[in-house]
Structure 1
Amino acid sequence: MTAPRSDEDMVVEWCLRLSDGSMSSEDRDKLHDWLAGDATRGERLGAALAVWDAVDADADAPEMLALRREALGAVHRAGQRRWLRTKFVSQPILWAIAAALLLTLALGSLLWRQDGRDEYRTGIGERRVIALADGSRLSLDADSVVTVSFTAQRRNVVLERGRARFKVAKDPLRPFAVRSGRNMVVATGTEFSVERLSREVRVALFEGRVAVLRDTPQGQTSEIVRRDGRSVTAERALTPGYEIGLPVAGTIGSIGPVIGPMGGGEGWGAEQISFTSETLGTAAERINRYAERRRITVDPGVADVRISGVFNVGDVDAFAQAIAATFPVDATVDDAEIRLRRRR
């Protein structure tokens, strides 16, 4: 009689299969059933996938070599050698997977559940890249919060604050829905970002297609944006390389090219942030995500001033000085904030 496979063994197997990218519909059903059997399995698998990426990228780094002997033994104990040989997986990849197994429990302590959901957050100036249990990737910008809830039928994400980029694993049977305020972005396998600002939600598309919906008293309807002088649905208007701005108050959104690799001008880890005809209020919101010493407060009288320029991430003092030198704006500085207001 064959002994039941341990959860640690199964984490390795599913990590291998998800990373290989050859999951059949039967495999996905088995994975859904396995995840449903224990609320912690998705957390451990997500952590293993994250380590897979990190270890694989640095497989030849000297600090990783010490893991090799233990890792190969872990794979052997997990009974994966035959499966690996049939997939022609190289030895560095083999021990990378085992390293993921060895580190899963440690990384699992970084995740927590709240009311049946996973919550991920970043602090001021912090960025994170997270592997979700379905193989999707979540890149979380500074000062941002998301909650994730996966079921057998749907993959639901709520962006509570800030900005996140999603590289969605293809699964036509389970739509991937990101909600922010009254808006929902739905995809099955694509790459896009969602940003929540005080006056609008922005959706940038990098690959594939998405549907963008809005909650109304009559139910969910397609968002409408204006492009080339015509009003069209966001799904038709939004193509890779463009982003739409969906106002919190109002019905018609706007569309324009994505500025920079991540939208808004800054890539993850970039040392500078750029703006092109951005409102001062929105620029301050974005700058504040990296403001560790003091934050910028913008009075309503100057919030709609349009600015362009390139600024160092986190240097709110230089940003405020540049605005005061260019526009009729005064900058009042104290220990906690810099207040921008119309010059008297």
Structure 2
Amino acid sequence: MSHDELAMAQAAAWLARLGGSVAGEDGVEFDAWLEAAPQNRAAYRRAVLLWQEFDARAGDVLAELAPRGRQAPVRPFAARRASRLLWLAPAGGFALAAGLALAVLPPLMVPTTVTAYATGKGEHRHIALADGSAIDLDAETQVRVTLSRSERRVTLGDGQAIFDVAHDARRPFVVAAAGRIVRDLGTQFDVKARGGQLTVTVARGRVEVESVSSAAPERAIALAPGQRLAIDGAGVGQLSRVDPAETFSWRAGRLVYRAQPLAEVVADLNRQFVEQTEIADPELGKLPITGVVVLDNPRAVVARLSLMLPIKAIPSDKALILLRR
């Protein structure tokens, strides 16, 4: 068996084992397998595509697998096509077919899975979902991922995440955050939910944002690449044009600010570093900052901030204290 054939057989086994989701210890082992050989990731993508092909022809495939004499009526062409799909792989093909056959069994055989992920202070995390989508979590972020045969749903608590979604018209991808639903139309976007406020920024494709409240229905707002919707705690939304690269820069260890208050910057820093920073005077927290903050270490960051603002830092036992200079 060649390396590619072995990778395909292993991909089919993972597809059957995970049932459409990556969770717990299985998720750790799956990530390790993806990184173990360069052909593994490509093999898994091929297996997922074949899964979808089988899913679209589930009736034909199941009829082909049924015992002789108990098959449902099947059109001859469909039966022959399902048979070709079932045996399309040579060596290692049986394992692949077994994994894909499992994928098209009735929903009870592929249960809905719910998996929670969280990051701590200063921690970023990349999550690869079995459907080919990916989620990047910022520091101090909590999400719950629910994968079923009819929908892919992420519930975002307090936090920020970038979603890179594999399009699947049969299984919508939605993000629930801050009392809103962000409905993906095949795209890459960032969602930030902090303190009851919501910001959605689109880099590629389109999304729709709508309220989950039936008492006060709102018209869904469609966002295109380069657009950001910011909704404050009172529910007032503002649509603007932005450079998505600035919003996504936190993933590379940089934060970009445009006339945003020092208090907001310090709140972001306190999520990224264990060593905390405090503002002694609330009025000081209103000072606006425009610039790029490189997240190397808190004292270096504060030193650079003091070049842009009339502030100075005094270390204490618990935190860096910011004072007016």
What's the TM-score, normalizing by structure 2?
0.64
Q: Deviations over 1:233-288 (max 9, x none)?
A: 3x0xx221332222122423242313536x1643x2x3443323223232222222
For residue 221 of structure 1, give the secondary structure of its aligned residue in structure 2.
coil
Larger radius of gyration: 2
How big is the shift at 1:83? 4.6
Aligned residue pairs: how many?
256
- Please give the residue correspondences for 1:117-266 in structure 2 after superposition, counting only pairs within 5 Å: 117-198=114-195, 200-216=197-213, 218-222=215-219, 233=221, 235=222, 238-258=223-243, 260=245, 263=247, 265-266=249-250
Q: Secondary structure at the match of 1:143?
A: coil
Aligned residues: CA RMSD: 3.9
Give the Cα–Cα distance (whole angstroms) in 1 for the partners of residues 123 and 38 of structure 2: 21
Mapped to 2, the partners of 1:87 and 1:258 lie a distance apart of 47
Shift of 1:146: 0.8
**2:38 matched to 1:54?**
no
d(CA) in 1 for partners of 2:14, 2:135: 17
1:273, 1:312 within 8 Å by CA — same for their partners in 2? yes
Identity %: 26
Report SS of the residue matched to 1:222.
Answer: coil
Query: Does 2:262 match 1:280?
Result: yes
Contact kept? 1:158, 1:178, Cα under 8 Å? yes
**CA shift in 2, pair 1:14/1:297, >3 Å:** farther
**Aligned residues of 2:190 and 2:248 also touching (Cα < 8 A):** no
| 1:35 CA displacement | 3.5
Unaligned runs of at least 5 residues, structure 2: 1-7, 41-86, 97-112
* CA distance in 2: counterparts of 1:296 and 1:87, whole angstroms: 60
Deviation at 1:173, TM superposition (A): 2.0
Quick one: which of 19, 23, 28 aligns to 1:35? 19
Change (3 A) 1:11 1:256: same
Contact 1:288 1:314 in 2 (8 A): no
More off after superposition, 174-183 vs 290-299: 290-299
Partner in structure 2 of residue 301 of structure 1? 283
